Structure 1
């Protein structure tokens, strides 16, 4: 009798067995006994397959007996099942050599298809059920992830928290939370993923009284793909084990090797992470154990998504199945127990490298407002921490660690895998954007307080000018700028000159054009003079000629070419010049001339089509290279209609059914044509929507910037399509690969006609390796597409489920920068280019007063090293006079890094993501204000710094 015939016979019988009845009182029912014996037969069959069919005759004999009994009696009786078990008794010892480790959990989605109050209710209800089951079943163990779950219990049911804490210490409640939520792994930047580890381990170890080292599992059953640096990030935070379900169809158990060479032990759920107990689960055990090399199979069970967890029926079934003679032993335990066993066979497991993507590509672009909140929230908090840390050292200002932790928790919560990806309902979005407002209130307030504390130490006494007792300027502009996610541009001066401090968040000196606002300026008929702190005149340009009103005050806007030290500041003054503005002359035309639509600076000459405003030429003036293929216009906004047939429109980008340019009936207006900025704007209408675009090119800049505002009124539906607004830039050179930034690194991917994730930029890699190349960076987008010698980015998608109208309304201030870079530029240089495009200078109004610091200064400068700065902050536990500086290596080789700091350093040491000191032979070297250390290839390194009490 062949095994193939046994397979077919079993399938036939399984299809004819009625639903099981599992109540102990009615185990005499035919359904129970039929499923019991057939489940054992199927298990025995799979066990025999992995042992060269050594049990084939015994299985066939027992199966034949069951078939005869069914033919005679029409059902599987208790007597039939017990006799078949006796026929298979020789297999019992082999069967019991396997064991099923049953690990219970409750998958609770944060605000997926419901509002926040329901998430709270689901959490409390589920935790109560688990505690009650523990009372009834002493053998029951339970595992629960997500720090946010425990925070809900602490806030809304603190008495229950005491019961959970007791079960944790009893060893029956396993805490599997190493992250604030089960987060997306592609769109959060590397710093966010490190903060999940930092804040979760600190919080739970204190809340539950546990060793943070026990939080060594990253439990991500539903995360939509996994970036290449995930092992590096997790290992840096003390996480050694990974559990996931999506993003890969490769090995079940494996080690995942990061580019740095460090490896993470992983288990990919082979069935599903939400499961109620069915006896057929035994059929998985032999083949999966064959893969892992263990005799233990991990069985994860519990009703989920909307909570619930294991049920009483699950526990009764598992307890009953353990008595079946030809079936694995069934035990109740924890993930920690399983991974301890998996560690014993680690060296025999396959090694996986690279990213484990992707699934649900629509999630890189759905619900764009939530994605804007994530990008802006991350950037603002990182910059605020930098300047707060600086203010603490140079101005003795208090460091608002608690406020920053609360703000980061908001950002981290919104990175849940159904929130940031945009696969939620309208209440999901509303709650996420409410948290974003709280984040920005904390981040921008503390950023400004830090800048003001620094400004108060700057010696500006020599810049005092004519006081104006009649001035209404001081206090003007309250709140101005907040809607653009900047610090507010309130005026603190009032006379002539006005004092302005410009702050640079980058660890390198930058010179670029920055916008200033002059409030209630009394001399609009005379020129201005702008000087830096040393009295040197610097160029400026009016943005517009008129006065604007804002809450009973008026203002003028101008551009200034500012040079600002690394992670530092420069002081400027603006005063009335000696020359009047050009006299008024009649504006009637005297001669008509051709008006080419061109923007040009020292680096680029960009020509636009005079009818549709697409880019028809971009010349790199350094090399004379034309970067536009004349047959393929660039800078193209497209309306794409996606095929909705695949369903789940928030999750999947559909096949493109139609691609149409929206550059029709374009209204073009040349705007700024000055020495610092040239710009034009154009407006287009399409469907029921309109798009306003301002294109600008600043002095010496390699970046052509597109700032857009869209009134989006397109609606998707299952019956028609999924409308998408897209920005497209064909490349004029051969391109076989595209490079993208990912958390703590970069990654080259082959061309793919599908959206792929990037943190902020994409580069078309030149096949010939030399000359200028095109890089596209955005301020709030994550879904890029590199294919067919072109780059594109999805701007807005009108998915229709689960939120039917996710994008309707105005979308302000999406910025796309098309940057011309050297094809041989390092990844560090590319990262810095994107950083400059997305992290502009910050402007602060100042006053004349004495101070201890000069009119320009730097708090941190990277003098050497192929690294990118990720964070400058103060330690969570001991912020006084200390910094944490985090960098990551970008070029794939060990790099020596040298930092220049604001004060003499008395101690420097390595720390991990949890800010625990690491004793290492490669400890940092201190030389006064300089600290040097080594960063291995593709690694993330953090150092702790202790400042001396005085400058050296």
Structure 2
């Protein structure tokens, strides 16, 4: 055999031309199937090879006569060769806005599809496959006549729709609900647009996605998607079953070659070995020019037609991905099982173009709250739930999940379009959320609250228009007047929260020193943070109040002025004594000590156990500038080796005054470094174990090509030995071992102690994804000045938040998820007025009563029939019963899938009184439709 291989190689080198290419490719294939043939084909191969060598020596080439003569000698091999099939599925990989703007994406899509349709007119057997709902939306909007042609080819079975997601999405950074919405909206949209059965959209086609979280099989299984196609993130097996922690699994084909390729005579080289290894007779060949569209060429089609006539070659025919995956059903139970995440590749993409990351986290969180309160408002009152309006916002968010947009590997036009889409989505989500909360507030009976007088000269009504919207928040203007004001605090969490909340009071005519706030049961602790701040012709005061707000509900607060207890005496406020105090933030639960010189965290102690999580010899909460080695190139895709680390621990200036009140203690500092500036406020609230860092950074560091890429980083070494690190992922959490590389998390990481029963440190992010757990420390990549393909993506003013939380021993994953959710979803205040109503002063509209299942979504059904969808995921690896209680009595409840189809025959739901109880498997996702 080695001798035959050598001789065949020599002929490849010495001869050329179409007949030489043909017969030598056939010999190569015959040789490959010979080793798997019971009788062997070496004799026939050697005979044909002898003849070809003689003709080549005499003629200097291999012509038609010599090739056909050799094919006759290989007649025995021909019969064996045709037992194998190469199924050829063409595809055009169309990147959404990778190195160009949306206008070019539209042009690429339409030009590519027009070419495919013309080729179909000429080649009656030619088939084409295309993913991504977004490209069909482009056609529908920009060339409706073409859409009719595509629909006709879809009906013929020659145009295959391989889309089950809105775009070929990133799978590491979007939350679980986002990945679910990709499928929900894609199936609904395409089944209507193209008049196809949504059940046929059962392939998740992700050829270029940069890694895949371990819960992808769970999400796909819950949405009727059976098959997965990918290239990156894994390099061991090309055909396997991928199983999520819940046990749900899908069949996966990892492209053994590549998804962008042309057609030549080498297409059969892997067929025999691949088929024998997996017990198949069919292999898939994906072909077509891609990235910037294009698809298969005429040459590709002609070549396949030509090779299909070669006698000593596999059966070659045009086909579809769905056709290939169906052949795998017969061997699915025998395939090896993979149970891990399919990571890591392109770790820089967890940080690059950080404003796109910011936009994603904000819009995911806002849509979560908007849908929930809109649905509950609709069930409680007469609020109109605008599902189509919310879907339009989701489509903007889903488009930005494309694997070159959210990962930050695009150009300036990519970034600008993404942020524009984000603003559209934020407008819809914020408007919906504000409207839902206002509607609920309008139903609350506040008629017994006295007006307090001082109404004639009021200027407060309408003050604060757009106040919070500056930072993409919900705009909640003042509606009250006079000295008595009414406010409603809203809690999006499924459990009651007692904590510090922020109130903005506009143009209040009273004396702040005599302020009082009550919730009907008594006066509440409060703290004045800012007084008499100006904003567009109005003044406001920023207050903190310590209140209890029911789960997924609201509480009503009354703000007024108390009677004076003593006569006022004017005392000059001139300084009399300078006091020098240590930087300590302390409440009833924890004590945090910071370095007076550089604001590094030296100690973080649990006051109940006395355990300190920080070693002062390895200070934490340090910001640092890292110079990354850029020698590997692709700087937006890759985090380079750390060459130099410089702590920002000099030129640190404390700002006055520090805040030392009863509800929040905080201090602020600034630090200059390089050409940049960092302004940080560190705070600790009453009843909290969380140190919150609010950061404003004027980042002006620039890369030096060929030398380094600068990075801003936050690090928190711990004083204990770590067994590893736990991170949140889509619909769950994942334990990872120590790894000196950035890894993705949706919002938090936990340094897991080796010692059982020990406190732990948790790092939570508001808008960042790139964590690193190594060397008994957690760190977070904040800003990276990559320079390709976007040369200057980060030289702007950045605002972001992060937190360090002391987690008591034995805290379950559910509580960790709740901690992160609460940090990223603060209580929201809505200004109210005095009026009659049907709702009490405080109420929970829905709450989780029992079970280790965290809610992922509360919404109304897309069908518009009024069903309330509650989706949960189990967090702690145990079968559980989820119990939810509703303000109004449910009539019935049923299991549904992610597509909101009723799961007939799936039992176990109980409805009793105001409660719905249903089982959730360990690490599983469950969706329930509740009729109220």
Which TM-score applies when normalising by structure 2?
A: 0.98
Residue 722 of structure 2 corresponds to which residue in structure 1? 735
**Counterpart secondary structure, 1:226:** coil
Q: In the alignment, is the contact (CA less than 8 A) between 1:526 and 1:578 conserved in 2?
A: no
1:827 aligns with 2:810: no
1:800 aligns with 2:787: yes
Q: 1:932 to 1:289 in 2, by over 3 A?
A: same
Residue 312 of structure 1 corresponds to which residue in structure 2? 298
**Aligned residue runs from structure 1 range 791-940, under 5 A:** 791-812=778-799, 814-880=800-866, 882-940=867-925
Q: 1:55 to 1:632 in 2, by over 3 A?
A: same
1:394 aligns with 2:384: no
**Aligned residue runs from structure 1 range 603-622, under 5 A:** 603-622=589-608
Q: 1:8 to 1:612 in 2, by over 3 A?
A: farther
TM-superposed deviation, 1:593: 4.2
Residue 89 of structure 1 corresponds to which residue in structure 2? 75
Listed one character per residue, the Cα deviations across residues 204-246 of structure 1 (whole Å, up to 9, x for unaligned) are: 1111111111111111111111111100100100101111111
TM-superposed deviation, 1:901: 0.4
**Counterpart secondary structure, 1:626:** coil
815-824 or 153-162: which moved more? Answer: 815-824
Residue 523 of structure 1 corresponds to which residue in structure 2? 510
The correspondence for 1:141, drawn from 127, 132, 136, is 127
Q: 1:186 to 1:53 in 2, by over 3 A?
A: farther
TM-superposed deviation, 1:53: 8.9
Residue 755 of structure 2 corresponds to which residue in structure 1? 768
Following the alignment from structure 1 to structure 2, what is the Cα–Cα distance between the partners of residues 582 and 287? 93
The correspondence for 2:187, drawn from 178, 182, 201, is 201
Following the alignment from structure 1 to structure 2, what is the Cα–Cα distance between the partners of residues 806 and 38? 51
1:7 aligns with 2:5: yes
**Counterpart secondary structure, 2:70:** helix
Q: In the alignment, is the contact (CA less than 8 A) between 1:526 and 1:581 conserved in 2?
A: no
Q: In the alignment, is the contact (CA less than 8 A) between 1:910 and 1:920 conserved in 2?
A: no
Following the alignment from structure 1 to structure 2, what is the Cα–Cα distance between the partners of residues 372 and 525? 36
80-89 or 392-401: which moved more? Answer: 80-89
TM-superposed deviation, 1:628: 0.8
Following the alignment from structure 2 to structure 1, what is the Cα–Cα distance between the partners of residues 276 and 571? 89
Following the alignment from structure 1 to structure 2, what is the Cα–Cα distance between the partners of residues 272 and 404? 37
**Counterpart secondary structure, 2:514:** strand
**Aligned residue runs from structure 1 range 229-240, under 5 A:** 229-240=215-226
The correspondence for 1:749, drawn from 736, 742, 765, is 736
The correspondence for 1:36, drawn from 1, 5, 22, is 22
TM-superposed deviation, 1:278: 1.1
**Aligned residue runs from structure 1 range 503-514, under 5 A:** 503-514=490-501
Following the alignment from structure 1 to structure 2, what is the Cα–Cα distance between the partners of residues 12 and 463? 97
1:212 aligns with 2:198: yes
Following the alignment from structure 2 to structure 1, what is the Cα–Cα distance between the partners of residues 737 and 568? 56
Q: In the alignment, is the contact (CA less than 8 A) between 1:642 and 1:655 conserved in 2?
A: yes
Residue 551 of structure 2 corresponds to which residue in structure 1? 566
Residue 364 of structure 1 corresponds to which residue in structure 2? 350
Listed one character per residue, the Cα deviations across residues 69-118 of structure 1 (whole Å, up to 9, x for unaligned) are: 33333322223322222222221101111111011111110000110000
**Aligned residue runs from structure 1 range 34-433, under 5 A:** 34-51=20-37, 54-433=40-419
TM-superposed deviation, 1:466: 2.8
Following the alignment from structure 1 to structure 2, what is the Cα–Cα distance between the partners of residues 686 and 695? 19
Q: 1:177 to 1:530 in 2, by over 3 A?
A: same
Residue 672 of structure 1 corresponds to which residue in structure 2? 659
Following the alignment from structure 1 to structure 2, what is the Cα–Cα distance between the partners of residues 582 and 104? 84
Q: In the alignment, is the contact (CA less than 8 A) between 1:867 and 1:897 conserved in 2?
A: yes
* Gapped regions of structure 2 (runs ≥ 5): none
TM-superposed deviation, 1:12: 3.9
* Gapped regions of structure 1 (runs ≥ 5): 18-29, 948-952
Q: 1:71 to 1:688 in 2, by over 3 A?
A: farther
Following the alignment from structure 2 to structure 1, what is the Cα–Cα distance between the partners of residues 157 and 569? 85
Residue 945 of structure 1 corresponds to which residue in structure 2? 930
**Counterpart secondary structure, 1:461:** coil
Listed one character per residue, the Cα deviations across residues 509-541 of structure 1 (whole Å, up to 9, x for unaligned) are: 001111111111112464200001x24100000
Q: In the alignment, is the contact (CA less than 8 A) between 2:351 and 2:782 conserved in 1?
A: yes
TM-superposed deviation, 1:45: 2.1
**Counterpart secondary structure, 2:779:** strand
TM-superposed deviation, 1:588: 4.6
Following the alignment from structure 1 to structure 2, what is the Cα–Cα distance between the partners of residues 424 and 393? 43
Following the alignment from structure 2 to structure 1, what is the Cα–Cα distance between the partners of residues 318 and 379? 53
TM-superposed deviation, 1:325: 1.3
**Counterpart secondary structure, 2:209:** coil
Q: 1:52 to 1:742 in 2, by over 3 A?
A: farther
Listed one character per residue, the Cα deviations across residues 585-605 of structure 1 (whole Å, up to 9, x for unaligned) are: 444544444411111111111
Q: In the alignment, is the contact (CA less than 8 A) between 1:34 and 1:77 conserved in 2?
A: yes
Q: 1:357 to 1:584 in 2, by over 3 A?
A: farther
CA RMSD for the aligned pairs?
A: 1.5
Q: In the alignment, is the contact (CA less than 8 A) between 2:483 and 2:510 conserved in 1?
A: no
Q: 1:289 to 1:796 in 2, by over 3 A?
A: same
Listed one character per residue, the Cα deviations across residues 799-840 of structure 1 (whole Å, up to 9, x for unaligned) are: 11110111110111x111101112321110100011111110
TM-superposed deviation, 1:284: 1.2
Following the alignment from structure 1 to structure 2, what is the Cα–Cα distance between the partners of residues 251 and 167? 34
**Counterpart secondary structure, 1:908:** strand
Q: In the alignment, is the contact (CA less than 8 A) between 1:526 and 1:577 conserved in 2?
A: no
Listed one character per residue, the Cα deviations across residues 399-455 of structure 1 (whole Å, up to 9, x for unaligned) are: 011100000011100001111011111100000000000001000001101111101
Q: 1:62 to 1:633 in 2, by over 3 A?
A: same
**Counterpart secondary structure, 1:139:** coil
Q: 1:613 to 1:228 in 2, by over 3 A?
A: same
1:635 aligns with 2:621: yes
Residue 712 of structure 2 corresponds to which residue in structure 1? 725
Following the alignment from structure 1 to structure 2, what is the Cα–Cα distance between the partners of residues 590 and 671? 18
Following the alignment from structure 1 to structure 2, what is the Cα–Cα distance between the partners of residues 435 and 152? 15
Q: In the alignment, is the contact (CA less than 8 A) between 2:452 and 2:560 conserved in 1?
A: no
TM-superposed deviation, 1:714: 1.4
**Counterpart secondary structure, 2:306:** helix
1:555 aligns with 2:553: no
TM-superposed deviation, 1:52: 7.5
TM-superposed deviation, 1:584: 5.1
Q: In the alignment, is the contact (CA less than 8 A) between 2:732 and 2:873 conserved in 1?
A: yes
Following the alignment from structure 1 to structure 2, what is the Cα–Cα distance between the partners of residues 523 and 146? 58
Following the alignment from structure 2 to structure 1, what is the Cα–Cα distance between the partners of residues 205 and 250? 13
Following the alignment from structure 2 to structure 1, what is the Cα–Cα distance between the partners of residues 41 and 242? 36
TM-superposed deviation, 1:317: 0.3
TM-superposed deviation, 1:719: 1.9
TM-superposed deviation, 1:913: 0.2
Q: How many pairs are equivalent? A: 929
